[in-house]
Amino acid sequence: MNKRAKKQKAIIFVIVLILALIFVYPLFLIVMNSVKPLAQILTKPLSWPDVFQIENYVKAFKEVNVLHVMKNTAVLTIGSVAGITLLAAMTAYWTFRYQTKYSKVFETFVILSMLIPFASLMLPLVQVMKVLGLNNSMFGTILTYWGIGLAFAFFMMQSAVKGLPVELEESARIDGCSRTRIFFSIIIPLLKPTMVSVVLMDMFWIWNDFMVPLIMMNNERLMTIQLSISRLFGQYASKWDIALPALVMTILPIVIVFILLQKKIMDGVIAGAVKG
């Protein structure tokens, strides 16, 4: 390796390192401030803690009801992600393998749905869900996520489906397999890398989302992580010494999942891009 190539690699490394520090620094501030007294959080947020107040975590665990809100968020995330992934795989396979006027119309509507900002749909969405009796319900919120998340997952899946060999399906059909069995026994395993990417990216989004739970199920029984933490901030007081430890506890599971599975995310994205 010549000196020019080494210099370029060193420059790239420094740039990547600086970008990494920029992204990690806010997380470091959250963790550092989570063990400070409230007075120091407000007056010296960038300084090292004078006293490590670990009892902040105990207070946050009780006041936010961490186990309850994490359970609600987990149920919401799992139900939403499972539905988005399965629907995206099924519709992507149908629109590409069985191209009819109906599949083309469906694909057109999916494309158009990506052009509509969610803010313009919030009021009609709430009104429709109220008429259907699905507002303030877990299923209604999950159904909403299915509609919002389908478009992006659909195009990722369709990109992967385009690279699947049709000969495998023809062989299975000759052996007497039905369309349903072909899909679940052959297509789904071949789509696994892309499905993993869809699952993980949607999981990060839904776990941390605030807006949809706010308009769909803003009540104590169905409280999610973000809604529960938001209630710590009022017009006249903000419980930063409770909110920051709660935030650390609730983002920890998703950070661990991301660290353990980040390679699978990239593998799925690359596989979809190459196949497409």
Q: Is residue 12 part of a domain?
A: no
Residue 276: the pLDDT is 45
Q: In angstroms, how far apart are the furthest CA atoms of the chain?
A: 73
Using 50, 70 and 90 to split pLDDT, how confident is the model at 113?
confident
Per-position DSSP letters for the chain, written without gaps between them: --HHHHHHHHHHHHHHHHHHHHHHHHHHHHHHHTTS-HHHHHH-TTSPPSS--THHHHHHHHHTTHHHHHHHHHHHHHHHHHHHHHHHHHHHHHHHHS--HHHHHHHHHHHHHTTS-GGGGHHHHHHHHHHHT-TTSHHHHHHHHHHHHHHHHHHHHHHHHTTS-HHHHHHHHHTT--HHHHIIIIIHHHTHHHHHHHHHHHHHHHHH--HHHHHH--SSTT--HHHHHHTTB-SS-B-HHHHHHHHHHHHHHHHHHHHHHHHHHHHHHHHHHHH-
Residue 245 domain boundaries: 52-275
Q: Is residue 40 part of a domain?
A: no
Average confidence (pLDDT) over 190-199: 87
In sequence order, what are the residues at sequence separation of 6 or more whose Cβ sits closer than 8 angstroms to the Cβ of residue 224?
69, 72, 73, 76, 213, 217
Whether pLDDT at 27 is above 90: no
Using 50, 70 and 90 to split pLDDT, how confident is the model at 265?
low
pLDDT tens-place string over residues 122-159? 888 888 888 888 888 899 999 999 999 999 999 889 88
Residue 176: the pLDDT is 83
Q: Is residue 38 part of a domain?
A: no
Kindly report which listed range (51-60, 81-90, 233-242) carries the lowest average pLDDT score: 233-242
CATH code, domain with 132:
1.10.3720.10
**Buried-exposed string 116-151: b where 16+ CB fall within 10 A, e elsewhere:** eeeeeeeeebeeebeeeebbebbebbbbbbbebbbb
- Give the integer Cα–Cα distance in Å for 118 and 125: 10
Using 50, 70 and 90 to split pLDDT, how confident is the model at 268?
low
Residue 269: the pLDDT is 59
CA 168-81-202 angle, to 5 degrees, is 100
Q: Is residue 70 part of a domain?
A: yes
Q: Is residue 193 part of a domain?
A: yes
Length reported for the chain: 276
pTM of the model: 0.83
Whether pLDDT at 266 is above 70: no
The radius of gyration of the chain from alpha carbons, rounded to an integer in Å, stands at: 23
Average confidence (pLDDT) over 56-66: 88
Cβ atoms 211, 123 nearer than 8 A: no
The mean pLDDT value of the chain amounts to: 85
Q: Is residue 116 part of a domain?
A: yes
What total number of domains does the chain contain? 1
Average confidence (pLDDT) over 39-57: 86
Using 50, 70 and 90 to split pLDDT, how confident is the model at 271?
low
pLDDT tens-place string over residues 197-245? 898 889 989 998 989 998 888 788 888 988 888 888 876 678 888 889 9
Cβ atoms 216, 136 nearer than 8 A: yes
In this structure, the number of other CB atoms found within 10 A of the CB of residue 225 comes to 26
- In 3D space, the residue among 130, 11, 73, 106 whose CA is nearest the CA of residue 247 turns out to be 73
Residue 39: the pLDDT is 87
pLDDT tens-place string over residues 9-24? 888 888 988 998 898 8
- Give the integer Cα–Cα distance in Å for 31 and 198: 29
Q: Is residue 269 part of a domain?
A: yes
Q: Is residue 18 part of a domain?
A: no
Cβ atoms 248, 131 nearer than 8 A: no
